[in-house]
Amino acid sequence: MNRTGTLHEAEVLEEDVVDQKQVSWKSYLTISKTGIVTSNLITTFTGLFLAAYYTGTTLGNNLLVTILALVGSALIIAGGCALNNYIDRDIDPLMERTKERPSVSGELSGRQILTYGLGTSFLGTIFLAMTSMVAAVFGIVGLFVYVVLYSMWTKRTTTLNTIVGSFSGAVPPLIGWAAIDPTLHPIAWSLFLIMFIWQPPHFLALAMRRVDEYRNAGVPMLPVVAGFKVTKRQIILYVAALIPVSLTLVHFGVIYTIVATLLGVGWLGLGLASYKYKDDIKWASQMFMYSLNYLTVLFVLMIVVHMF
């Protein structure tokens, strides 16, 4: 009887250990912000694909470089996101969308998060360096801007935090291009500019949706400091500027030019419609969702038009 009870307890204990391991891995994935990693890998891959195309080679001929660049980018982005979680442990409990993070709930300790963030960032940098030193440098610069200049400094002090954060978010296509071609063709910089200008209207729309949370946490996002009217005007100006920037790539062909124009004009039209909307939050939600679709369609289109 005692032996049976002991075996049963051992089985229960073993199941608890397995469950704990599963929770831990899910927790690490959560602080890695896999959604952000995935979306950034789309732009990284676009940089890789276009660099191969315009240097007269293929990704198949650069398979190892492609894998190293994608894995390295994923790791360094995940590392940066984890370090952001580590830094924001004091304000995350004050925001509805972040109060369940493992860094807040205690599923992961501060030491675990810091170690994971630094470790994955370092490993990602090594992988990128195996493709080219230029790619690794861009990875380090993007990480520094996101973790130090954005998360540790401007996010807590100025409405310009969105602009600072946009720089790090625009780096992935440069990393992808530099992995194949460290000399960086002007097309690579067009990709960077598109990403750089796309991010403010995307994140300002999100900030409008979460304005009460940011206000409660004391984060000086533009809607908190200047109100919705100023924020909407800023969003519209950025979207308007994005149209000509996206058309710096008109040599991608007629299909790209037409679709890029329609996407930009559609987004601008939705932006201008804000003056007729009575519900600013509903408008911001629509702008946010449109921004996600805009980015995905545009960057996938860049690849598709070069496949035929």
- Following DSSP, what letter does each residue of 103-134 receive, concatenated? HHHTSS-HHHHHHHHHHHHHHHHHHHHTT-HH
- Please tell me the predicted confidence (pLDDT) of residue 16: 44
Going by pLDDT thresholds of 50, 70 and 90, the confidence category of residue 49 is very high
Structural domain count, the chain: 2
Q: Answer yes or no: is pLDDT of 21 > 80.
A: no
pLDDT more than 70, % of the chain: 93
Q: What is the mean pLDDT of residues 140-169?
A: 97
CATH code of the domain containing 174: 1.10.357.140
Q: Answer yes or no: is pLDDT of 14 > 80.
A: no
Mean pLDDT for the chain overall: 93
Residue 5 lies in a domain: no
Looking at the structure, tell me whether residues 179 and 37 fall in a common domain: yes
**pLDDT: which is higher, 119 or 9:** 119
Asked which of 154, 184, 214 is the last residue of a domain, the reply is 184
| Residue 248 per-residue DSSP state | G
- Please tell me the predicted confidence (pLDDT) of residue 275: 87
How long is the chain?
Answer: 308
Going by pLDDT thresholds of 50, 70 and 90, the confidence category of residue 126 is very high
Asked which of 135, 150, 184 is the last residue of a domain, the reply is 184
Buried/exposed 179-190: b ≥16 CB within 10 Å, e otherwise: bbbeebeebbbb
User: pTM to 2 decimals?
Assistant: 0.91
Residue 11 lies in a domain: no
CB 209 within 8 A of CB 284: yes
CA distances to 24, 143, 179 from 65, rounded to whole Å, are 31, 21, 7
Q: Answer yes or no: is pLDDT of 237 > 80.
A: yes
Residue 154 lies in a domain: yes
The enclosing H or E element of 1 equals: none
- Please tell me the predicted confidence (pLDDT) of residue 5: 47
Q: Answer yes or no: is pLDDT of 75 > 90.
A: yes
Looking at the structure, tell me whether residues 57 and 113 fall in a common domain: yes
- Please tell me the predicted confidence (pLDDT) of residue 10: 39
Six-digit token pair at 26?
């899910």
Q: Answer yes or no: is pLDDT of 11 > 60.
A: no
CB 207 within 8 A of CB 217: no
Going by pLDDT thresholds of 50, 70 and 90, the confidence category of residue 72 is very high
Residue 21 lies in a domain: no
Asked which of 168, 184, 200 is the last residue of a domain, the reply is 184
Number of H helices, E strands in the chain: 14, 0
Q: What share of the chain is helix, strand, coil (3-state, %, to 5)?
A: 85, 0, 15
The enclosing H or E element of 227 equals: none
- The residue range of the domain holding 279 is 187-308
CA dihedral of 255, 261, 267, 273, whole degrees rounded to 10: -130
